[in-house]
Structure 1
């Protein structure tokens, strides 16, 4: 029972992390964690989350949202949902997950903040990628992923590394933490942190051409409580820190931002 409860709590955490990431575009789809069902079985979860998260990467202001969350994985290796995207896990070993997937970058609207006026919108784009996750135990993971296709020219690429753990205090209450970092190529950095000559002429910003490199690091902590065998409540706090040329961008009002998520989920 403790292992089942821990799996459900890990599932809740991964879903809520993805909700936060999807809205903040900071850690979006940074890893694949297949905890929605036990190995060799199908299962999923439905939920709702309330969050406070930056208006865009580097924004000093937060916005508040209420969003649905959904995730499902099949016994044959396919999975789909807000936490992991749409993909296929080739591994039958619960300690190793590796495969391919399709995700999405939500882009950025210039109307979201005054600092973005004149820069134009970055349209939402599909991404293709691959992932590898190592689970040495039911309560720890090390993950990596690569995603390609974001940005104005569809050539933005992100490489993500992360690690995390969950500690079960009793059969109902668990807590955990994760940390990670993202590397971005020139195309991604230019789309989200750069200022082109055209954008400079339309805005008050000087031309800025960031280079490929470390984009951000983050650390998150969560606590989850199982109301019953299928229903959980979770609270997650994340601190994200921009790095390299992303930190020096004229669009980055704050180097370090924080987000809070409260979620309720039903597992089936």
Structure 2
């Protein structure tokens, strides 16, 4: 017997030898596929010190969302306000995709700049702060929405291209506490879906040079994103030997991480982040999922002009 997902939350068993029809295709199920199993991935932010992030979802990429979807790269710098430019380089160890049991080493650029209301950052992309009222900042941007390469997933599964997306976000900062919410819609290619994220950070100054920033976060995705990223359609089921699976909308992950930033002087800073992401709901139940708990880590060096 094998399980075929008909809709979110609905399954039925198909006996061996029975003809299966889906979207005009038909095939005979003779062998029970074995889905991947596994047990044991944000989003950081800018708090009292500048934290550079990869989108998302992190989370966004698997390197998201993290980010997308995706996960996150911090680079610490001195507390500052107004116009600034921070550039640097970093490297991380991240999953090939959300749910993958394989990891890769990834060089990552560090960039964070602001000129008036306009900004460039790894988390929010290129955009403008439309609202700046006291501790509240809100804006819009164009950001990356991550996918996965064909070679990273089982044979027969189509790749999900990394593409650009429109993003809306808001950040509330109260002293050392920072709360951020956002939503990104892929506008061309990729999953063409929507991923929303929320995160909470708190900056803990350890010394006049070092700050530790714990962060927790979660992300939600609509059915279009979930089914394209974690689902398996009829043609992919035939080609890969994995069971047909349809993923519905819902919360797809929750993350926890700790960032340490060390200011060498008024310009140079070092950053390191370690964290773990737990897949939830239909993302965790996908036959593509090999590992529900996914650790990741990043290190960086940055220069603020």
Q: Do they superpose with TM above 0.5? A: yes
Retained in 2: the 8 A contact 1:16–1:263? no
Query: Paired residue for 2:236?
Result: 199
Query: Paired residue for 1:136?
Result: 174
Verify: 1:123 aligned to 2:161, yes or no.
yes
Query: Paired residue for 2:132?
Result: 92
- Deviation, structure 1 residue 66: 1.9
Do the aligned partners of residues 107 and 118 (structure 1) sit closer, same or farther apart at CA in structure 2, a change above 3 Å counting?
same
Q: Deviations over 1:111-146 (max 9, x none)?
A: 124x2x211121222211211110011x21111001
Retained in 1: the 8 A contact 2:143–2:164? yes
What SS does the corresponding residue of 2:99 show, helix, strand or coil? coil
Do the aligned partners of residues 44 and 232 (structure 1) sit closer, same or farther apart at CA in structure 2, a change above 3 Å counting?
same
- Deviation, structure 1 residue 163: 0.5
1:107 to 126, 147, 157: 147
Query: Paired residue for 2:291?
Result: 254
Count of residues in correspondence between the two structures: 253
Structure 2: stretches of 5+ with no match in the other structure: 1-45
Distance 1:174 1:164 in 2: 12
What SS does the corresponding residue of 2:161 show, helix, strand or coil? coil
Query: Paired residue for 1:187?
Result: 224
Verify: 1:26 aligned to 2:58, yes or no.
no
Larger relative helix fraction: 1
Do the aligned partners of residues 254 and 125 (structure 1) sit closer, same or farther apart at CA in structure 2, a change above 3 Å counting?
same
Distance 1:68 1:104 in 2: 14
- Deviation, structure 1 residue 193: 0.3
- Deviation, structure 1 residue 152: 5.6
- Deviation, structure 1 residue 108: 1.4
What SS does the corresponding residue of 2:49 show, helix, strand or coil? helix
What SS does the corresponding residue of 2:186 show, helix, strand or coil? strand
Query: Paired residue for 2:29?
Result: none
- Deviation, structure 1 residue 106: 2.9
Distance 1:9 1:65 in 2: 27
The alignment's TM-score, normalised by the length of structure 1, stands at 0.86
Q: Pairwise CA RMSD of aligned residues? A: 2.6
- Deviation, structure 1 residue 20: 11
- Deviation, structure 1 residue 230: 1.1
Do the aligned partners of residues 140 and 71 (structure 1) sit closer, same or farther apart at CA in structure 2, a change above 3 Å counting?
same
Distance 2:230 2:90 in 1: 28
